[in-house]
């Protein structure tokens, strides 16, 4: 590890951002990968998986880049695509209560399996729910 990388890791470790508390980029990547693995594996997330098309590779990268910045780390998504405009980017997809609930349940399961500490898991689950609820664009 270079001196610059070590200094960056030390700065992240001393921060109280969700990004730092989670464990930085490796932990965010592990969380995102588990989230999409679960979506592929668990029958409870069938509707959610169906909305993502045949490959999850692009979605994995975009969610990883987005979450890094959203959690208080590097703004990888913004540097590549500009402002996330989450709601506008998701308008082509029918997102109702079922889709919201499956997304939140899948992410909650992924956080548990990735052993996100309980206080952080609760904090993130609330934020994920609020964001997922805001993304709804159909009534049911």
- How far apart CA 32 and CA 100 sit, in angstroms, is 17
CB atoms within 10 A of CB 23: 18
pLDDT digits (tens, 9 = 90+) for 64-106: 999 999 999 999 999 998 888 888 888 888 899 999 999 999 9
- The hierarchical CATH code for the domain 3-134 is 1.10.490.10
CB atoms within 10 A of CB 8: 14
CB atoms within 10 A of CB 139: 6
pLDDT digits (tens, 9 = 90+) for 5-34: 434 444 444 468 999 999 999 999 999 999
The pLDDT of residue 6: 38
- How far apart CA 138 and CA 140 sit, in angstroms, is 6
The pLDDT of residue 25: 98
Question: Cα separations (Å) of 23 from 92, 101, 120?
Answer: 33, 26, 11
- How far apart CA 132 and CA 1 sit, in angstroms, is 37
- Phi, psi dihedral angles at 29 (to 5 degrees): -60, -45
Domain parsing of the chain, residue ranges: 3-134
CB atoms within 10 A of CB 130: 11
- Compute the CA torsion angle 37, 109, 114, 93 (nearest 10 deg): 50
């Amino acid at each position: 590890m270079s001196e610059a990388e070590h200094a960056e890791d030390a700065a992240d470790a001393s921060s109280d951002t969700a990004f730092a508390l989670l464990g930085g980029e490796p932990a965010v990547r592990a969380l995102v990968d588990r989230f999409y693995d679960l979506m592929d594996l668990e029958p409870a997330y069938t509707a959610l998986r169906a909305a993502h098309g045949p490959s999850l590779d692009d979605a994995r990268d975009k969610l990883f880049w987005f979450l890094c910045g959203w959690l208080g780390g590097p703004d990888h998504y913004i540097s590549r695509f500009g402002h996330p405009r989450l709601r506008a980017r998701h308008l082509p997809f029918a997102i109702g209560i079922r889709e919201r609930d499956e997304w939140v349940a899948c992410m909650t399961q992924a956080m548990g399996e990735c052993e996100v500490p309980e206080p952080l898991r609760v904090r993130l689950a609330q934020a994920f729910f609020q964001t997922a609820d805001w993304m709804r664009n159909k009534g049911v």
